Amino acid sequence: MAYLPCEIVDTQSNVDAAVIWLHGLGANGHDFVPIVPRLNLPDSLAIRFIFPHAPSIPVTINGGAVMPGWYDIYALDMEREIDTPQILASSKAIKDLIEREIAQGLSSERVVLAGFSQGGAVIFEAGLSFDKPLAGLMSLSSYFATYKTIEPHPENESVPIHIFHGDHDDIVTLPMAQHALEQLKKLGRLPEYKSYPMAHEVHPQEIDDISAWLQKVLA
């Protein structure tokens, strides 16, 4: 099977958990690699961080320019008109990465999905519809693109979810994060939510909070 190319960082040699972390539009798998040492995780957590590279595609909102992206975006309105088959294909590619970790001996319940911006939209689709229980879903400055079409799987009806967002985000606006929160609650999920005085970026306090949340769900 052909898997997405990935950057991989193991925090210890005896890995017993994995975090699959998706970048945003126009970035790549290297984007969040530097955050791993900044998480200051305890030695007791042996995590494999997996940072996949999205394929390069033409992006309509950027004049058709070719760049790394998980799916095409047709319009930057509140609903975000997107290429649904592409986001489903990206979701399938992430599920394949989860299955690879399981095949190598990890329990699905030791796998966290994380994603920034576009990447967060993909992890909602992939994680909520995955047919084995996961450790958690983490959305960074993102939105719930497939809330109308998603087919949630009962195995992840109680998966821990945390939404992190910027109060001053002008790319994925605060109402879009709040809309994701509302739609997840309609699906019976109970996501945690925290915002920061930032734009479409990552805040230092957010890194500390991500670390604390990972330690909680992977304890």
Q: Calculate the CA 206 to chain-centre distance.
A: 15
SS3 50: strand
Q: Which of 16, 153, 200, 209 is catalytic?
A: 200
Q: Is the pLDDT of residue 78 over 80?
A: no
Residue 16 placed within a domain: yes
Residue 26 tokens read as 């126009």
List, for residues 9-47, the tens digit of each pLDDT value: 999 999 999 999 999 999 999 999 999 999 999 999 999
pLDDT range class, residue 164, cuts 50, 70, 90? very high
Question: Going by C-beta distance under 8 Å and a sequence separation of 6 or more, which residues neighbour residue 25?
Answer: 59, 67, 68, 69, 70, 73, 117, 118
pLDDT range class, residue 167, cuts 50, 70, 90? very high
Residue 117 annotated as catalytic: yes
Residue 1 placed within a domain: no
Residue 87 placed within a domain: yes
Residue 116 placed within a domain: yes
Residue 39 placed within a domain: yes
Whether residue 128 contacts residue 139, with contact meaning beta carbons closer than 8 Å, is answered with no
Specify the number of domains making up the chain: 1
- Could you give phi then psi for residue 47, rounded to 5 degrees? -110, 140
DSSP 5: P
Residue 200 annotated as catalytic: yes
Q: Is the pLDDT of residue 1 over 90?
A: no
List, for residues 112-162, the tens digit of each pLDDT value: 999 999 999 999 999 999 999 999 999 999 999 999 999 999 999 999 999
Q: 211 lies in which domain range? A: 6-217
Measured between alpha carbons, how far is 117 from 90 in angstroms, rounded to an integer? Answer: 14
pLDDT of residue 190: 93
The answer to pTM > 0.85 is yes
Q: What is the CATH number of the domain that holds 195?
A: 3.40.50.1820
List, for residues 99-112, the tens digit of each pLDDT value: 999 999 999 999 99
Residue 65 placed within a domain: yes
Q: Which of 142, 169, 195, 203 is catalytic?
A: 169
Question: Going by C-beta distance under 8 Å and a sequence separation of 6 or more, which residues neighbour residue 141?
Answer: 24, 116, 117, 120, 164, 165, 166, 169, 171, 172, 177, 200, 201, 202
Residue 136 tokens read as 């958690």
Residue 123 tokens read as 């992890």
Q: Which of 117, 129, 142, 195 is catalytic?
A: 117
Q: Among candidates 123, 101, 93, which has minimal Cα distance to 23?
A: 123
DSSP 112-129: EEEEETHHHHHHHHHHHH
Residue 177 placed within a domain: yes
pLDDT of residue 76: 82
Residue with tokens 């007791």: 44
List, for residues 43-75, the tens digit of each pLDDT value: 999 999 999 999 999 999 999 999 999 999 999
Whether residue 39 contacts residue 214, with contact meaning beta carbons closer than 8 Å, is answered with yes
Residue 21 placed within a domain: yes
